[in-house]
């Protein structure tokens, strides 16, 4: 089922039911200047925007629906280190060194979640 064809999936999610959302902004009708324009206000887009801001860039996030509308607002909230496939698959593709780096990144990602949770007071 395509997410875009099933808005009720979002409407009934835990996040949607518990979020306090600021008034939605209308469509962007004027010109904006920024160092980076991020398209999509899901985990990937917002994470990129936060990292960029922390490095001193000005950032605009453009979201077609509302923040967290896509997969990010529907997921199970499981933060599990590792990959969706066996590490040997990655090792075959990238070699041992790079596969180890990929694995380490999945551990760093868990740390980052904890850091962001504390920094943005997410409970």
Q: What is the DSSP string of 78-97?
A: ---SS-SS-HHHHHHHH-HH
Residue 90 CB, shortest distance to ligand FAD, in Å, is: 17
Would you say 71 or 89 has its CB closer to ligand FAD?
71
Q: How many CB atoms are closer than 10 A to CB 109?
A: 13
Would you say 74 or 100 has its CB closer to ligand FAD?
74
Give the residues lining the site for ligand FAD (CB under 6 A): 39-45, 62-65, 69-72, 74-78
Burial class (CB in 10 A: 0-12, 13-18, 19+), 103: middle
Residue 18 CB, shortest distance to ligand FAD, in Å, is: 16
| Interatomic CA distance for residues 23 and 115, integer angstroms | 27
Would you say 56 or 76 has its CB closer to ligand FAD?
76
């Amino acid at each position: 089922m395509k997410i875009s064809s099933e808005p009720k999936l979002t409407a009934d999610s835990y996040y949607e039911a518990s979020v306090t959302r600021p008034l939605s902004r209308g469509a962007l009708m004027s010109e904006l200047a920024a160092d980076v324009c991020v398209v999509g206000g899901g985990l990937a887009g917002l994470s990129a925007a936060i990292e960029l801001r922390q490095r001193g860039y000005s950032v605009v996030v453009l979201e077609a629906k509302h923040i967290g509308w896509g997969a990010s607002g529907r997921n199970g909230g499981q933060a599990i280190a590792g990959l969706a496939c066996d590490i040997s698959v990655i090792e075959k593709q990238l070699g041992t060194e790079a596969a180890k780096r990929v694995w380490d990144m999945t551990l760093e990602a868990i740390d980052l979640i904890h850091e962001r949770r504390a920094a943005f007071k997410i409970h």
